[in-house]
Structure 1
Amino acid sequence: MSLKYFQLNWKKIIFFLVGGLVLCLIVYHDAELYHQPIGEVIQVKKLKKTSVTDNFNNHDVSQEQRLKLKILNGKNRNHIIYLKNNFSTSEAASLAYHSGEQLFLKIHQHQSKNQSVIITGLKRDTMMVFLCWLTIFLLSIIVGIQSYRMLFSIILNLVLFFLAIKIDVITDAQNVVFIFAVLAIAFLAVTEFLIFGKGRQFLVCFSATFLGTGISLIIAIAVLLLTHENGLNFEMMSYVTQERLPLYLAGCIIGSLGAVMDLATDITSGLFILAEKNSAMTFKDFWHSGQNIGKTVLGSLINVLLLIFISSVFPLAVLFIRNGNNWNYLFPMLLSLGIVQSLISGIGIALTIPLTSTLTGLVLRKEVSHE
């Protein structure tokens, strides 16, 4: 294979590398932009260790640190303070801190002019900016100009998401399913328009995704009503301060939409490329080709959903089992909600294959018949 296919724009790469380095340095030194006090760890001294064992024979080690911090902002800027930090080696509920890290602090000024300082968290904005920059860099090098459309769609979808959350809070959680259904349609329209532009591919993919997600949600609601939600413990949805079932269904809409949209886009793009290569294809040819594309992607897509779900519950599942709970307790209390959500997405994926194949075949057959 010729090396010309692997030629890179070195000026572009150097520009991104230098720009990313400068950006990370700026963010690392942006403590003055925060109202909350920030301290940099300039020295760490390890103190005593203590072995601990709980009632379930889980072993851990408690370690104490003495931290020397320099305040980076606010009225206490450049002051040196000393703190003790206790953490477990498992770092399940506490962290070990290292030199060079920046920490968010809470400083209490007492009437005796003494101060008490509490660490409230680790400042992670530099790492987040680095990861965002790395993603943009790789997309720009590999995908090219199309990557900027994708990034724009992500930013726009995030803005829409935060707007929907704000509306949900303002309306006091009234009609949460309707709010997020509208949000899903907006997500779909923005993403597909930026991928396909205005045309038949956009209409086909939008229609197929809308129908696949909508039908799967209707099936889910019908099953939940018929079974009276038996076996689903919505009380395990942590930190929820509003009615849980509508919020769960709203999450199902967004989760199903992503998987269905991915599959519909693959099938639509593939069939339109086939139409360009062979204008003599019939509706039957398009339908069978769409089915084959869908079957090829189906297995990997469902496994992606399963692996995402497993990764989200894995730490808690290990914690449950290590603390004496069995699988009969673990499944209904921790796994059932996620598995049902994955099944709803799976139904949407399965429905999307014939829906997209049929709609695309009808549109492309009409185009062929006019030639």
Structure 2
Amino acid sequence: MKVNLTKNQVTIILAFFWIVFSLLFTQYNSRLYDQTVVKLLSVDRTDISDPSEEGRQDLTGQIQNGPRKGEIITLDAPLSFSQGVAPTYQKGSQLFVDLSGKTVTIISVKRDRYVLLLLGLFILLVWWVGSKQGVFSLISVGLNIGMLLLAVALYVTWPRLPLIAIMFVTGIITTALSLILSTGWHKKTVATIIATLTASTIAWLIGWLVMTVCHDQGLRYEDMQFLTRPYRQIFIASLFLGTLGAAMDIAMTVVSTVMELLEKNPSISSKELIRAGQSVGKNVMGSMTSVLLFAYLSGGIPFIILYLKNGWAFAPSVEMTLSLEVARALVGGIGIVLTIPLSVVVVAIMYRKGGA
């Protein structure tokens, strides 16, 4: 008997099987790791009620991989009130440990289960919403991640290569790949690429100029102090890539609207065209700027809470953790604003030259 399943039913079935697969796979995939994995069998901890106190956790676990697989070991871990440096471990958790020294050292918690679950659900949601176009979007994301990793590998292997130039080339390629795979190759794509790259470059130049003139006053690079490369150069290079995403979205919206207006009314005046593009841009500019701002600031919230729980004042905590994120958001916001008029100008030039 032939069974016809709807797209929603297929998505639900695939999501169920992915959840089961993720839970089972991550529970028994320890042999795939080079680092030693230990599964906690019991946890005995001392309770602490004062932020100045430090407790202890006596852990018993079983080694899951390597030549000592199956061996029962004991671990001693600190416990802090804020749990920032010394988290609370639970029975059944899996840990990465180092057995090379005289004592067992805990490296981190094994969290691949949550990563795999979220990744699978994300892929299913994109496919469910976007169908074929969603698949191309996923391919675009994968290629962009590969390009970014390649750029980082090039810089790490050959440190004398100019990082800013590497990031600009990477940004150009990833922008083109994203738009071609998502919309195809036509005038709209070309106009969006030109507007996105132009606006992002101008915004980056403004950010670099302001930082240079002001001698980086107000920027706190302490969060980047662990880097073995010039942190200022890395931060400046990251500003360009951070602006591309939001500028690309705005450019596609404005370009699509303006091109549709030109196709329906080729005799429309430049003034009316600019007014229409600005009207569309105003409707999405505020929301996109807010999205960009919160996307950057949200990463610093855990550190602000960590500093506050350890006795820091509010103002120094915010300055320490969010100065770089605010700078990124401001440069990105400038890029969003510049993208609107640039998109209209690029479309007008391309369309008029095309003989319309």
Tell me the alpha carbon deviations over residues 80-130 of structure 1, each in whole angstroms, 9 at most, x when there is no partner: 2232333224311112122222111211376xxxxx322211111111111
Cα distance, 1:43 vs. partner?
A: 2.6
When normalised by structure 2's length, the TM-score is 0.88
Helix, strand or coil for the counterpart of 1:145?
Answer: helix
Partner of residue 308, structure 1: 295
Q: Match of 1:57? A: none
Tell me the secondary structure at the aligned position of residue 179 of structure 2. Answer: helix
For 1:342, the aligned partner's letter is A
Partner of 1:34 in structure 2?
33
Q: Residue 49 of structure 1 is aligned with which of 10, 33, 47?
A: 47
Distance 2:87 2:241 in 1: 33
Once the two structures are TM-superposed, the CA of residue 180 in structure 1 deviates from its matched residue by 0.8
Aligned partners of 1:53 and 1:13: how far apart in 2? 46
Which residues in structure 2 correspond to 1:120-269 (within 5 Å)? Answer: 120-234=107-221, 237-269=224-256
Paired residues of 1:49 and 1:62 also in contact (CA < 8 A): no
Of 83-92 and 241-250, the range deviating more from structure 2: 83-92
2:286 aligned with 1:288: no
Aligned to 1:13: 12
Q: 1:356 aligns with which of 343, 348, 351?
A: 343
RMSD: 2.5
Rate the CA distance shift 1:129–1:273 in 2: closer, same or farther, 3 A.
Answer: farther
Shift of 1:184: 0.9
CA gap 1:326/1:10 in 2 versus in 1, 3 angstroms: closer
User: What amino acid is aligned across from residue 30 of structure 1 in structure 2?
Assistant: N
Q: Distance in 2 between matches of 1:108 and 1:226?
A: 50
Q: How far apart are the structure 1 equivalents of 2:23 and 2:314?
A: 46
Letter in 2 for 1:68: T
Identity %: 28
Name the residue aligned to 2:3. none
In structure 1, the residue matched to 2:92 is 100
Question: In structure 2, the residue corresponding to 1:108 is in which secondary structure?
Answer: coil
Runs of at least 5 residues in structure 1 that lack an aligned partner in the other structure: 1-6, 55-60, 111-115
Q: Structure 2 counterpart of 1:49, which letter? A: D
Over 3 Å counting, the alpha-carbon distance change for 1:320 and 1:33 in structure 2 is closer
Residues 265 and 102 from structure 1, CA distance in 2 versus in 1: closer, same or farther, beyond 3 angstroms? same
**TM-score, normalising length: structure 1:** 0.85
**1:4 match:** none
| 1:104-115 alignment, distance < 5 Å | 104-108=96-100
Gaps of 5+ in 2: 1-5
State the alpha-carbon separation in 1 of the partners of residues 8 and 145 from structure 2.
Answer: 31
Q: CA deviation at 1:63?
A: 4.1
Pair 1:225–1:96, CA change in 2 (3 A)? closer
